[in-house]
Amino acid sequence: ASKEIPSPNQAKYCLWILEGHTLAMASGGDCPDENQFNFNPEGIPDIPVRDSAEAEESGGGDSEGDHPLTPRVFCEPESPPDTEENVRRQTDTVFQAFVFERYTRDREQGRLQPGAPSSPELILPPADPLSVEAGIGRRLAEIGDEIQQRYQPEFDEMIKSLDGQLTDPASSFDTFRRVARRLFHDGSINWGRIVALFCFGYRIAVEKIRRGVSGFLRNVVQWIFRFLVQERIARWIADHGGWRSVTHMAIQTLDMPLLMGLCALAASLCFVAYRLSRR
């Protein structure tokens, strides 16, 4: 069962998954067994919830007992539930707006690799930039900015692990789903994991389009939608205020090493690639 967002007094550390362990990235040669990674998906907690007044009064400082490097990600008190139908209806537009905003930010700040594509899939803005969905996508991209900036090498390793795969749309979704499930392996869902999923999908799309695979973003949009529905994440989003609740989140800082979904996905990708190579 999905975990409920904690009350302000129950807020846990955000984005800390390895309980003191360090995940080593495997490069070259055969990949080790996934059990060697010491991965503990149960350690990915929920984003703390505080109202804006409390956050402002505290000045963003760590309360007594907090880890001094705990990332400060706050949101307003929970929004009233939405409908799953509405979440499904908005998902494609939200993710496409997220991709456009992430790509625009990466391009303007010189974070794109040489040979990065200028495909219409990536550079065309949402049909209605002022829509609610476009605003939600932009907010999710802002939340994911720290992940993209600080941990691009980890994403690069993950994408490298997929080299030569994701060529057939039908079987590619199964590979994508097996990897993405590692973020939600313990049945716990939170906004941090959802943002990590979006970042992963974005990087896959950019890399494939860079290699000349036209129209690949459409595949990723479909995978994200199918995954959120099949894994009942869309239901969780609806129960926790819908996509609109993202607009109430406020980021103060993210100074803690953000190993969260990146390590989980890297380990899973390596293991999946290893299994496929042994067939």
29-54 mean pLDDT: 38
What is the per-residue DSSP string for 233-246? HHHHHHHTT-GGGG
pLDDT at residue 201 tops 80: yes
Query: 61 falls in which pLDDT band (50, 70, 90)?
Result: very low
Percent of the chain's residues with pLDDT above 70: 55
Span 177-191, average pLDDT? 82
* 171 touches 161 (CB < 8 A): no
Q: What is the pLDDT of residue 30?
A: 36
> Looking up tokens 């949402």, which residue turns up?
126
SS3 state of residue 79: coil
Quick: pLDDT tens for 100-145: 999 888 888 776 766 666 677 787 788 888 899 999 999 999 988 8
pLDDT at 95: 96
pLDDT of residue 50: 37
Q: How far apart, in whole angstroms, are the C-alpha atoms of residue 16 and residue 248? A: 23
Pair 177, 200: CB distance under 8 Å: no
On whether the CB atoms of residues 263 and 25 are closer than 8 A, the answer is: no
Q: How far apart are CA 44 and CA 65, in angstroms?
A: 19
Q: What pLDDT, on the 0 to 100 scale, is given for residue 113?
A: 67
Work out the average pLDDT over 35-53.
38
Query: For helices 191-210 and 169-180, what crossing angle results, to 10°?
Result: 140
Taking residues 157-178, report their average pLDDT. Answer: 78
Q: Where are the alpha helices (DSSP H) in the chain?
A: 52-58, 84-108, 120-123, 132-143, 145-150, 152-161, 169-180, 191-210, 216-230, 233-239, 260-277
Q: Is 187 left (phi over 0), alpha (psi -120 to 50) or beta?
A: left
Least confident of 127-131, 167-171, 194-198, 203-207: 167-171
Q: Given this structure, which CATH class describes domain 8-277?
A: mainly alpha
Mean pLDDT, range 222-234, rounded to an integer: 96
Average pLDDT for residues 222-251, to the nearest whole number?
91
Whether pLDDT at 1 is above 60:
no
Percentage above 90 pLDDT, the chain: 23
